[in-house]
Amino acid sequence: MNAAVVETKAPEGLAGWIEPARTAVVVVDMQVDFAAPEGVLGAAGVDLSSVPPALAAAETLVDAAREAGAKVVFVGLQTRAETDSPAWRERMVRRGGDPDSGSALCRADETGSDFYGPTPQPGELVVGKTRYSGFVGTDLDAQLKAMGVDTLIVCGLTTECCVDCTVRDAFHLDYHVFVPTDACAAYEDDLHTSSLKSLELNCAILVTADQVAAAWQGAA
């Protein structure tokens, strides 16, 4: 499967909307278990062919943010048996699955939870989460507000799940949200495309990593 291509046109005014002093790039769940062939999903045979282009675009985005002086924030799943969602486990059972079968995703302090692709530099904010959204049960909102951030560029894995949930919560918390379509991926193209369409309709402005980088050119 090749990554779905979602065409976007750079909106007029983008440079002013994403001024580095008030903007953070938020990288969601680009971790070994979700993105690497040796991770839990890759080892289970999930088609990861859509992931490498998204990782590369996210690298472009993160590099541009650092050069321009925008904040870079990493949000990653960090699970433990005691923090596994009871609702998620029961849903698995009701669908006929076994929540205790196979390997758990992104166990804290194990290789599967390591960031894969773009990785944090010293001093950059890293937030661990136990649910789909980066805002649920974390201090992400408080940390962003303390940094003077009101605008987010959210990328990561997967488009229809943790990216989608994080973007919607960000919008409900009154952030201005942009989603770089090429720096996100889902394991099925239709999920990627439909999720982006829904987010564009309701919560976010769609851009590409190159459009953001171009808007920031010379901003530092």
Q: Give catalytic residue positions.
A: 29, 129, 162
Residues in the chain: 220
Return d(Cα 67, Cα 121) in angstroms, integer. Answer: 13
Return d(Cα 207, Cα 198) in angstroms, integer. Answer: 14
Is the Cβ–Cβ distance between 160 and 186 less than 8 Å?
Answer: yes
Return d(Cα 63, Cα 217) in angstroms, integer. Answer: 12
DSSP output for 107-176 = BTTSGGGSB-SS-PPTT-EEEEESSSSTTTTSSHHHHHHHTT--EEEEEEE-IIIIIHHHHHHHHHTT-E
Reduce the DSSP state of residue 207 to 3 states and report it. strand
User: Would you tell me how many other CB atoms lie within 10 Å of the CB of residue 126?
Assistant: 13
Return d(Cα 77, Cα 168) in angstroms, integer. Answer: 18
Write out the two tokens for 205: 């402005």
